[in-house]
């Protein structure tokens, strides 16, 4: 299968023809006319088959889902392109390869309509940036925008026009393998990152950028038990207030496309959910781009028990407002019949074709179809030194310091002997995740390589500890403990291979493997200081790791320069500033645990255990709160928050008040702090969360510096949605919380009149 697109491209190359002069004189080819006029002209010339063809997207490279679609070889696929039966291909890459296929579409099909080439460019194309959840821990949307833009630059140079990103599914369940692709558990922060990534990918839609795709619409992150593709059951109230805001932010940022999700919403698969696809997306949010299904999600409605057969699936999908069909082939097989028999209004098809053609014109593909296919440009932009540098910076800003007892970190640059332990310190094949596009694990600076190059004067030894299968043996134990004896500090890498991160990679057990824990126990009993690095694409259960470590640095999966970034942090050349965007559970049984929960009628305060603390909403074996809360992250310096004040204790519905406080860098090092503002609506017509992030500021402080920090509280921060998506702003008491994370806060209150 992997060679399929090469073969496709080779066949395409030998069969290329030229534009016919007849094609050139058509109005839709006239670049001086408006896009609207050109589309209208083109539509008037298209046959029903050609129109349906624009809604057909086929896989032409490695599979990223079950082989559901046309099941045909490259020759048949090229013939379909010649026949005008394909609108877009996914998974074919390379300036030359895509260019050869584009030539067929443009010169051999009757109307010469160019194809859109698409790929999952999630966090880099060749240069890989930190996984999106890691990047969200930077709380730096400008950084996310830059990384998305850099990824778009590399990918578009390889002939691509469209990425299936960003994913903004709100997630509260780290068992779900796709938490790595999002921005965590908060709707506001999720929206900020979604918009930034859309801006980064799309830019001004020139040939250094990509069309973005809002995915997966909607609620895909709420898969029950964190099991991939599983049922979703969210109330409309929760949907509007928690899950929809990030998609809306991306649509408002101008995202060109939206992808259906695999799940059901209110008992109806998203792919045929008229409420989502028409009422919310088109009518309420005024989305003007086009929709694409997820991989075979139209035909999967048969398995859901919602469609009788493929023709039924096609009818239900298009009637709901869905448009392009990724790989299930139900439109190409049945849409013509459905239109001819008037079961589906022709207008729906025409509108979908219009929406798709709009972007083909907008990208300039009718005027210069080959502008994405310059091999020299491809070579010059990919993996450049600027890309490597950006990847390193992003990785530095994404790693979260979770523990740092007695200032174990940063290490003394003149430290004599360091032992690095753990298979993941050197294992290249585990270094990147499934969604690393064309990233090459050989390009990755491993943790060990990063440490060796930064601490070049120190003696660095390595011991595998556990092996690739996470087994810890007596042989490795001896080697490890002998080396540990000589070491001034031990750096132990634990975690989960990148191969288990991403789609179809749900895990029921997200604690470190027993072999990794055995390794930690032995190291801990050796009496040495152990710095634990966690390489993982999801929050893990670190409850048993905490007592066995002096420091814990959550490295996530940091991309091409992860080892170099790690070394900057270990040496104190970068002072960690990242903070968690997802709560870390005490135990798997505590999932879902998230900070913006409701209070319940019988709330409990962790730590209290008097007679009144029995018949309350609590666990009897672990605390209610997360092990590490949302917004948590340490620095090598320390912070003091003081004097929280509101400009008034009353606010009008059309007014605003300001909230000020002082933040001081009390430590000896310069650093950045993320100051977080949360609000609670104390009593409302629908219960509101105990705290909701409404704003934040990431600020740089010199050592010893103090700053007055000011937030403006506006009515939009106090409003919420009813279950129908109407905005409510209700009078009453509100509490404002400001702090370094969602737990350690100061508070003040006011009344909205």
Using CB under 6 A, list all residues that contact ligand NOJ: 64-65, 120, 164, 215, 294-295, 503
- CA-wise closest residue to 533 among 508, 510, 562, 559: 562
Whether residue 388 contacts residue 560, with contact meaning beta carbons closer than 8 Å, is answered with yes
Pick 325 or 503: Cβ nearer ligand NOJ: 503
Whether the bond into 577 is cis, omega within 30 of 0: no
- Minimum CB–partner distance for residue 221 and ligand NOJ (Å): 12
Q: State the nearest-atom distance from the C-beta of 276 to ligand NOJ, in Å.
A: 16
DSSP 335-370: HHHHHHTTSS-HHHHHHHHHHHHHHHHHTTTTT-TT
Q: Go through the chain and tell me how many residues it has.
A: 753
In 3-state terms, what secondary structure has residue 247? helix
How near is the Cβ of 317 to ligand NOJ at its closest, in Å?
16
3-state class (DSSP) for residue 451: helix
Could you give the 3-state DSSP secondary structure of residue 226?
A: helix
Q: Using the minimum distance from each CB to ligand NOJ, give the nearer residue, 215 or 354.
A: 215
Question: Residue 379 is encoded by which pair of tokens?
Answer: 């070579």
CB of 63 to ligand NOJ, least distance (A): 9
Shorter beta-carbon distance to ligand NOJ: residue 257 or 577: 257
Phi, psi (degrees; rounded to nearest 5) at 480: -65, -45
- Taking the complex as a whole, the smallest distance from the CB of residue 236 to ligand NOJ amounts, in Å, to 24
- Closest alpha carbon to 353 in 339, 367, 342, 368: 339
Toward ligand NOJ, which CB reaches closer, 94 or 465?
94
At 320, list the tokens.
């709901």
Q: Does residue 583 contact residue 629 with C-beta atoms inside 8 Å?
A: yes
Q: 472: buried, middle or exposed (CB in 10 Å: 19+, 13-18, 0-12)?
A: buried
Output the smallest distance, CB 267 to ligand NOJ, in A: 21
Nearer to ligand NOJ, 122 or 189 (CB): 122
How far is Cα 531 from Cα 549, in angstroms, rounded to an integer?
6
**Cα–Cα distance for residue pair 702/663, rounded to 1 Å:** 12
For residues 317 and 307, what is the distance between their CA atoms, to the nearest angstrom? 10
Q: Which of 186, 294, 355, 433 is catalytic?
A: 294
User: Closer CB to ligand NOJ, residue 120 or residue 186?
Assistant: 120
Cβ proximity to ligand NOJ: between 131 and 490 the closer is 131
Q: Residue 43 CB, nearest distance to ligand NOJ (Å)?
A: 28
Cα dist. 751→58, 317, 657, 683, 735 in Å?
A: 56, 47, 11, 11, 9
Distance CA 718, CA 731 (A): 10
Per the annotation, the verdict on 294 as an active-site residue is yes
Catalytic machinery residues: 294
């Amino acid at each position: 299968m992997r060679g399929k697109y090469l073969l496709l491209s080779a066949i395409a190359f030998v069969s290329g023809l030229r534009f016919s002069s007849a094609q050139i004189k058509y109005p839709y080819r006239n670049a001086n006319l408006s896009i609207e006029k050109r589309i209208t002209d083109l539509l008037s010339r298209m046959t029903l088959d050609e129109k349906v063809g624009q809604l057909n997207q086929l896989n032409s490279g490695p599979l990223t889902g079950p082989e559901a679609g046309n099941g045909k070889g490259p020759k048949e696929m090229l013939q379909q392109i010649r026949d005008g039966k394909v609108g877009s291909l996914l998974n074919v890459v390379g300036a030359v390869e895509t260019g050869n296929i584009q030539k067929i579409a443009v010169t051999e099909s009757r109307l010469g309509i160019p194809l859109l080439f698409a790929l999952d460019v999630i966090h880099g194309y060749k240069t890989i940036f930190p996984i999106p959840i890691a990047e969200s821990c930077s709380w730096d949307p400008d950084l996310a925008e830059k990384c998305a833009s850099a990824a778009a630059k590399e990918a578009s140079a390889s002939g691509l026009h469209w990425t299936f990103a960003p994913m903004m599914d709100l997630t509260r369940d780290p068992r779900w393998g796709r938490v790595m692709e999002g921005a965590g558990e908060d709707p506001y922060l999720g929206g900020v990152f979604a918009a930034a990534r859309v801006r980064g990918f799309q830019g001004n839609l020139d040939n250094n950028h990509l069309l973005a795709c809002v995915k997966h619409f909607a609620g895909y992150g709420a898969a029950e038990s964190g099991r991939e593709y599983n049922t979703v059951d969210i109330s409309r109230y929760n949907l509007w207030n928690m899950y929809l805001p990030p998609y809306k932010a991306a649509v408002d940022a101008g995202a060109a496309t939206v992808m259906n999700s695999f799940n059901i919403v209110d008992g109806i698969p998203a792919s045929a959910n008229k409420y989502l696809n028409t009422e919310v997306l088109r009518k309420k949010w005024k989305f003007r781009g086009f929709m694409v299904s997820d991989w075979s999600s139209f035909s999967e409605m048969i398995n859901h028990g919602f469609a009788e057969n493929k023709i039924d699936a096609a009818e239900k999908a298009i009637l709901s407002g869905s448009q392009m069909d990724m790989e299930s082939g139900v439109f190409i097989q049945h849409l013509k019949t459905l239109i001819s028999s008037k079961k589906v209004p022709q207008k729906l098809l025409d509108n979908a074709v219009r929406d798709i053609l709009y972007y083909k014109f907008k990208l300039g593909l009718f005027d210069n179809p080959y502008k994405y296919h310059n091999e020299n440009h491809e070579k010059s932009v990919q993996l450049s030194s600027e890309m490597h540098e950006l990847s390193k910076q992003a990785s530095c800003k994404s790693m979260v310091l979770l523990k740092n007892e007695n200032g174990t970190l940063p290490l003394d640059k003149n430290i004599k002997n360091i032992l690095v332990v753990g298979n993941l310190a050197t294992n290249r094949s585990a270094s990147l995740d499934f969604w690393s596009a064309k990233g090459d694990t050989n390009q990755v600076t491993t943790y060990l390589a990063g440490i060796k190059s930064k601490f070049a004067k120190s003696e660095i030894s390595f011991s595998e500890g556990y092996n690739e299968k996470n087994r810890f043996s007596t042989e490795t134990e001896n080697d490890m403990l002998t080396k540990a004896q000589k070491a001034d500090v031990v750096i132990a890498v634990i975690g989960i291979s990148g191969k288990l991160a991403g789609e179809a990679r749900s895990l029921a057990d997200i604690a470190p493997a027993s072999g990794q824990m055995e390794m930690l126990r032995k190291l801990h009993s050796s009496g040495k200081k152990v710095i634990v690095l966690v390489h993982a694409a999801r929050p893990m259960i670190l409850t048993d790791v905490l007592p066995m470590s002096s420091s814990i640095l959550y490295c996530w999966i940091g991309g091409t320069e992860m080892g170099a970034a790690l070394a900057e942090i270990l040496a104190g050349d970068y002072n960690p500033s990242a903070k968690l965007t997802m709560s870390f559970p005490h135990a798997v049984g505590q999932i879902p645990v998230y900070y913006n929960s409701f209070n319940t009628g019988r709330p409990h305060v962790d730590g209290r255990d008097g007679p009144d603390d029995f018949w309350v909403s609590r666990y009897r074996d672990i605390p209610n709160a997360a092990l590490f809360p949302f917004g948590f992250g340490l620095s090598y310096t320390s912070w003091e928050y003081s004097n929280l004040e509101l400009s008034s204790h009353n606010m009008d519905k059309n007014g605003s008040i300001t909230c000020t406080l002082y933040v001081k860098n009390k430590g000896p090092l310069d650093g950045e702090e993320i100051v977080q503002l949360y609000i609670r609506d104390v009593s409302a017509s629908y219960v509101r969360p105990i705290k909701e992030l409404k704003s934040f500021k990431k600020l740089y402080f010199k050592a010893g510096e103090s700053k007055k920090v000011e937030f403006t509280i506006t009515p939009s921060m106090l409003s919420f949605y009813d279950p129908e998506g109407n905005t409510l702003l209700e009078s009453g008491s509100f509490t404002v919380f400001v702090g370094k994370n969602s737990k350690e806060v100061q508070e003040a209150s006011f009344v909205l009149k």
